[in-house]
Amino acid sequence: MADKIAVLPGDGVGKDVTEAAMKVLDAVGFKAEYTYGDIGWEFWCNEGDPLPERTIELLKNSKCALFGAITSKPKDEAAEELKPELRDKGFVYQSPIVRLRQLFNLHTNLRPCKAYPGNPLNYRDDIDLVVFRENTEGLYVGVEYYPLPQEVYDALAKYNSKMERFGKSSLEDIAVSCRIFTRAGCQNIARQGFEYAKKFGYKTVTFVEKPNVIRETSGLMIREARKIAKEYPGIEIWETNIDAQCMWLVKNPQDYGVMVATNMFGDIVSDLAAQLIGGLGFSPSGNIGDNFAVFEPTHGSAPKYEGQYKVNPIAMILTSKMMLQWLGEIEMADRIDKAIATVLKEGNVKTYDFGGTHTTMEMADAIIEKL
């Protein structure tokens, strides 16, 4: 029986690129039972929830999901766009993708950045790296305070004299966001990085942290990483700091294979890595849990291009390829990959982001022709 797959185009150009990717999936011969679901800004404005309960139910009944893009805005701006009847009723905007990651424990965010020769935006043609981003912990857990409650202040001050320097500020002038790591979370992302390196023949796994300053959280990550590295002889562990790593990625991107980072640093370093191989138009990602996964391009919803079929669908098509790999459809995934490589090498069809005038669907059709 065909797998049930939820399709969530979302906002803005999410719709355009989803349409393109679905066409490619059909053309490669992939059969699934697709159900489209609601997610995004429209549902925030009209229902006070960008990730409605019915969509969560749909996901619970699906093997995995293909997700386009969503628009998200800071809390206060979001509140202003609620429809009048819903204002001041206690609705608080929360990023649906961050929520999905938590809700379904999608602990691993896999972001491959491989240069396809012929892409004029490549920094170099020999870049082939993959970012493993821990996806549910760290600064994204949502344990945040503003204003800082007196009890939280007192508890922090009791256990850490460094809080004294904030003692003169009023609690309304202090905001706190907690960076929380667990040993299990660190071990899991480290292990996934090494397993991937072993499976695909990468020689190094680079841990991107900042243990010289953020001693406890980064420290835990690095200690666990070192232990796990011992189980993988022949694969070298490299330890770097996030700031220096950004510089080195710009300088020598070809030196890196698997990179492992915790949530916030992984967010940063994956955008940087994406730009090295042509930008967000070329960068897929997978939010992967034990039994469920949500695949999404790294790019956002680019509202100003919505419905114009202007943006590059390659990131979304590569995202579908990742989904096929996860589902075990390796042959189909390889055909899509080769077709994209051929189109880029020939260089006859290009969307605006890399110097052309072709549309989203023309790019999809060019890829389909090479399948």
Residues within the interface to Mg ion (CB under 5 A): 267
Instruction: Show the tokens assigned to 208.
Output: 């991107």
One DSSP character per residue, 256-281 reads --EEEE-HHHHHHHHHHHHHHBT-GG
d(CA 333, CA 1): 20
d(CA 189, CA 45): 36
Among Mg ion, ligand IPM, none, residue 72 binds (CB under 5-8 Å by kind): ligand IPM
Among Mg ion, ligand IPM, none, residue 98 binds (CB under 5-8 Å by kind): ligand IPM
Rounding to the nearest 10 degrees, give the CA dihedral for residues 193, 198, 201, 203.
70
Instruction: Show the tokens assigned to 175.
Output: 């905001």
Q: Which of 16, 137, 267, 329 binds ligand IPM (CB under 6 A)?
A: 267
Report the SS3 class of residue 254: helix
Residues between 128 and 167 with contacts to ligand IPM, criterion CB under 6 A: none
Smaller CB distance to ligand IPM: residue 228 or 293?
A: 293
Residue 72 touching ligand IPM (CB under 6 A): yes
- Residue 26: C-alpha distances to residues 10, 21, 170, 209, 272 (Å): 20, 9, 59, 41, 32
Q: Where are the beta strands (DSSP E) in 218-335?
A: 236-241, 258-261, 284-288, 293-297
Among ligand IPM, Mg ion, none, residue 97 binds (CB under 5-8 Å by kind): ligand IPM
Give me the least distance between CB of 83 and ligand IPM, in Å please.
Answer: 23
Give me the least distance between CB of 38 and Mg ion, in Å please.
Answer: 23
Smaller CB distance to ligand IPM: residue 98 or 174?
A: 98
Smaller CB distance to ligand IPM: residue 312 or 359?
A: 312
**Which one of 94-102, 113-121, 141-149, 241-249 is the stretch in contact with ligand IPM (CB under 6 A)?**
94-102
d(CA 70, CA 303): 9
Give me the least distance between CB of 298 and ligand IPM, in Å please.
Answer: 6
Give me the least distance between CB of 101 and ligand IPM, in Å please.
Answer: 8
Give the interface size with ligand IPM as a residue count (CB under 6 A). 6
Chain positions contacting ligand IPM, by CB under 6 A: 72, 95, 97-98, 267, 298
